[in-house]
Structure 1
Amino acid sequence: MARAAINITGTGEKFDFVSLGGTEVTCYRQGVGVYCVTGTLGMVPFPPLDQGWGYGLHPSDNPAEVDIAFDDGLLTVTVTKEGKPYDLKVMITLHILVPDRPPQAELPAPEIDPVAAAQTQIAHLRAEADYAIAPLQDAVDIDEGTETELATLKAWKKYRVALNRVPEQEGYPLAIDWPAAP
């Protein structure tokens, strides 16, 4: 068995559900102040209220009284106020037990298209090269590039040409000799 928490609104709708186990929990409003929950194994047993398990009313619904019964797979929550059936104005949070999740089969690793993976890597490395080349090319274009900038620009451009030639390598796309960035 695993723990779960469900928030039920005054109309009987499931507002939120958090589970460490099964997820097939439903709820509905049977009548004024009567809420039914299916798919549980009952409430988390008391104690420990100090650990937040049991139930909790939204502050707008306090000081309503709550009675909870579990019989034949049906969890029934009855809410009264001053002895009369009372529809929740906001919600109640129930801490319930649910079946453990079945063991998950290990999924096979997704098949990766080697051509697509290589092209993605080339595009990524090409974008890095373009980013490095742009300011160097600007400096050269306006005749303000230093000899170091010119040499660096040529190195990046050679690298970019080598990237463009990766698909021509023998063994591509399974065996790639990636060029080294400057």
Structure 2
Amino acid sequence: CYRKDVGVYCVTGTQGMVPFPPLDQGWGYGLHPADSSAEVGLSFDDGLLTVTVTKGGEPYDLTVMITLHILVPDLPPQEELPPSAIDSVEAVQAQVAHLRAEADYAIAPLQDAVDIEEATEVELATLKAWKKYRVALSRVHEQEGYPLTIDWPAAP
């Protein structure tokens, strides 16, 4: 999206989420209450959606925002959909977050012992192992085969 001129905003795509529908089918918008008295016009040509905003017949820059809505076709029933890489990514990200929380919980008291200069050699070694594990978790997305195949790091 970009602002072309006073009251003229251009939308060049939907980041692949949905295709642009024809202008007379499925477009809508919502204005922030601060801009509710503005008038909005939509035009679509050659893959570019142009949003023109006026107030009192004059071009008007929105003070807050406009939310565009696109009507999309119904999805087929879930059982007809192939497994989605997005679902896999979400599942992996949730697992990483869970494991990261466990690592953070284990690291906190060990780091406290280091910070107050009361850590034993065993605590220092354990802290280092947990931090290595946490780094490995942060790099899971770099693995070949991600998100369908994950070589999970072993917790200390």
Higher relative contact order (CA 8 A, sep 6+): 1
**TM-score relative to the length of structure 2:** 0.46
* Bigger Rg, which one: 1
**TM-score relative to the length of structure 1:** 0.40
